[in-house]
Amino acid sequence: MLLIPCPHCGPRDETEFKYGGQAGIAYPKDPDALTDAEWVEYLFLRDNPKGAFRERWVHTAGCRRWFDITRDTFTNAFENGR
Amino acid sequence: MSPVSPELPQHPDRLWRHPDPKPSYDVVIIGGGGHGLAAAYYLAKNHGITNVAVVERGWLAGGNMARNTAIIRSNYLWDESAAIYEHALKLWEGLAEELDYDLLFSQRGVMNLAHNLGDVREGTRRVYANRLNGVDAEWLTPDDVKRLCPIVDISPDVRYPVLGATYQPRGGIAKHDHVAWGYARAADNLGVDLIEGAEVTAIDIEAGRVTGIQTSRGPISAGKVAIVAAGHASIIAAMAGIRLPLQSHPLQALVSELLEPIHPTVVMSNAVHVYVSQAHKGELVLGAGIDSYNGFGQRGAFHIIEHQMAAALELFPIFARAHVLRTWGGIVDVSPDASPIISKTPVDGLYLDCGWGTGGFKATPASGWVLAHTVANDEPHELNRPYALERFTTGALIDEHGAAAVAH
């Protein structure tokens, strides 16, 4: 089980969190102007690296806040240690 | 002490050669799992293309082909899915004979339990949809469930009572390793080179057309290249500048110690969320859902295992004294609509067969069949035309999330 360093509560068990996928995906500024290909980019295409990945978690059973963190998807190590 | 027997067992014959890569092939398949091996076999068998290499980073069939729960069924809701999975099931039914290899293919039936009104409605709808598509399907009452699988608890006073089930009698299990070895031997016999221990590091492209690959065992030029790399499909496709709508997740499974034969069929449950069969050797084989986060570590968290086992106990109280022998994880490439991508790409001569997510094993023969057709003809087979990469742009998704009789 991952020990996730919540920036507000400190390290907590993975079972207290929900996963939010890749971080930094902004809602389109002008959705009406998007082409189909741009919608694909927003809706379906996400990075899927083997290695460092900037991702979102929400501490549902704790402070209930969202945060971004970098984790290595192969080793599961978080950027600021455990 | 008795003396050592002079008749010690000898190493069995090798099932395939271990050639060094040739400088050039007509077709190179990246990924020596079940799908890649099947594709190589059908390229040779159906299309006469035998100057083919399967390039595998590790050893043959050591990825998800060695890590799945070996369940075979075709009871999918949508027409496109029923067509390709039923094609697979029909191929399964003659495969041991065709490959001349015992696959321990056992059509012991697959049951999908319903535990609430939503399940019942979804299940009955799927039974009718399956029948319209020529897929065998029945609706079972709780008593039918008990008759077919006496160890399922159908008491009405449990937390998630069994209200019925869909049943596909032609579904079942096979011995996954044997499937890979059978395809590997047959492909090798037809002249395909199976190259293990060769990690792909680059895909060579000139003027929009693939020309070969770079590997840890040297460069290999190729007229056509197919990416059949499951959890690593995104990584390989990125070498050709292609972004795939895939996310790789850990998917775990487990087995118990060997037990007497007690479980005669395959039982799956969405609501309680576990699927269970008993392998020929006697171990109970259990699986469930993915770990939530992206991961390439081929391992997952124990609380996921705990959930599966709790679910199994809910359905099968008799398992309370069974022990977990082994748990493991694979890396599954999950697509937005839980359906695979079997497709041409923007690069000429480069093809994809990926995105099978949590359910690729059952499709192995059909996946190889249609990929071979796509590569040989540079045109998709009718069965995989709907599974093109473009569907995410056109919106013609094949949404099997939930509709496929299993939660993903």
Closest CA relative to residue B103, chosen from B72, B128, B67:
B72
Give B300's contacts in chain A (Cβ within 8 Å): none
**pLDDT reported for residue B401:** 81
Give B298's contacts in chain A (Cβ within 8 Å): none
**pLDDT reported for residue B3:** 62
Residue of B nearest to A40 (CA): B393
| Contact yes or no for B193/B19 (Cβ under 8 A) | yes
B29-52 residue pLDDT tens: 999 999 999 999 999 999 999 999
B333-344 residue pLDDT tens: 999 999 999 999
Q: For chain A, what percent of residues have pLDDT higher than 90?
A: 95
Instruction: Select from A2, A37, A50 the Cβ nearest to the Cβ of B296.
Output: A50
A11-48 residue pLDDT tens: 999 999 999 999 999 999 999 999 999 999 999 999 99
Which two tokens mark B351? 């093809």
Q: Measure the CA–CA gap between B252 and B291, rounded to whole angstroms.
A: 8
**pLDDT reported for residue B1:** 55
Q: What is the dihedral of CA B296, B302, B306, B307, to 10 degrees?
A: -40
- Is the CB of B235 less than 8 angstroms away from the CB of A50? yes
Give A68's contacts in chain B (Cβ within 8 Å): none
Give B336's contacts in chain A (Cβ within 8 Å): 43-44
State in Å, rounded, how far the first CA of chain A is from the last one. Answer: 12
Alpha carbon of residue B340 to chain centroid: 11
Nearby residues of A60 by Cβ (< 8 Å), 6 or more positions away: A16, A17, A18
- Is the CB of B301 less than 8 angstroms away from the CB of A1? yes
Nearby residues of B369 by Cβ (< 8 Å), 6 or more positions away: B38, B42, B46, B87, B91, B381, B383
Return the higher-pLDDT residue of B289 and B171. B171
Question: What is the per-residue burial (b if ≥16 Cβ within 10 Å, else e) of B191-200?
Answer: ebbbbbebeb
Instruction: Select from B234, B297, B301 the Cβ nearest to the Cβ of A75.
Output: B297
Q: Measure the CA–CA gap between B335 and B154, rounded to whole angstroms.
A: 35
**pLDDT reported for residue B294:** 97
Residue B273 has pLDDT above 90, yes or no: no
- Give the residue-averaged pLDDT of B351-355: 98
Q: What is the dihedral of CA B82, B83, B84, B89, to 10 degrees?
A: 80
Amino acid at B114: A
- Is the CB of B336 less than 8 angstroms away from the CB of A46? no
Which two tokens mark A75? 């080793």
- Is the CB of B294 less than 8 angstroms away from the CB of A48? yes
Give A48's contacts in chain B (Cβ within 8 Å): 234-235, 244, 246-248, 294
Closest CA relative to residue B79, chosen from B355, B354, B399:
B399
- Give the residue-averaged pLDDT of B343-362: 97
- Is the CB of A40 less than 8 angstroms away from the CB of B336? no
Q: Is B151 on the interface with A (CB under 8 A)?
A: no
**pLDDT reported for residue B405:** 55
- Is the CB of A1 less than 8 angstroms away from the CB of B392? no
pTM of the model: 0.95
Which residues face B116 on adjacent strands? none
| Contact yes or no for A8/A68 (Cβ under 8 A) | no
Q: Is B397 on the interface with A (CB under 8 A)?
A: no
- Give the residue-averaged pLDDT of B143-167: 96
**Whole-number Cα distances in Å, B61 to B18, B199, B229, B330:** 15, 14, 11, 12
- Is the CB of A1 less than 8 angstroms away from the CB of B303? yes
**pLDDT reported for residue B5:** 66
> Which of B389, B391, B393 to probe the A interface (max A CBs under 10 A)?
B393
- DSSP states of B114-166: E-SHHHHHHHHHHHHHHHHTT---EEE-HHHHHHH-TTS---TTSSS---EEE
3-state SS class at B99? helix
H-assigned helices in B29-78: 34-47
3-state SS class at A53? strand
Q: For chain A, what percent of residues have pLDDT higher than 70?
A: 96
Tokens 């971004």, residue? A68
Residue B4 has pLDDT above 80, yes or no: no
| Contact yes or no for B103/B172 (Cβ under 8 A) | no
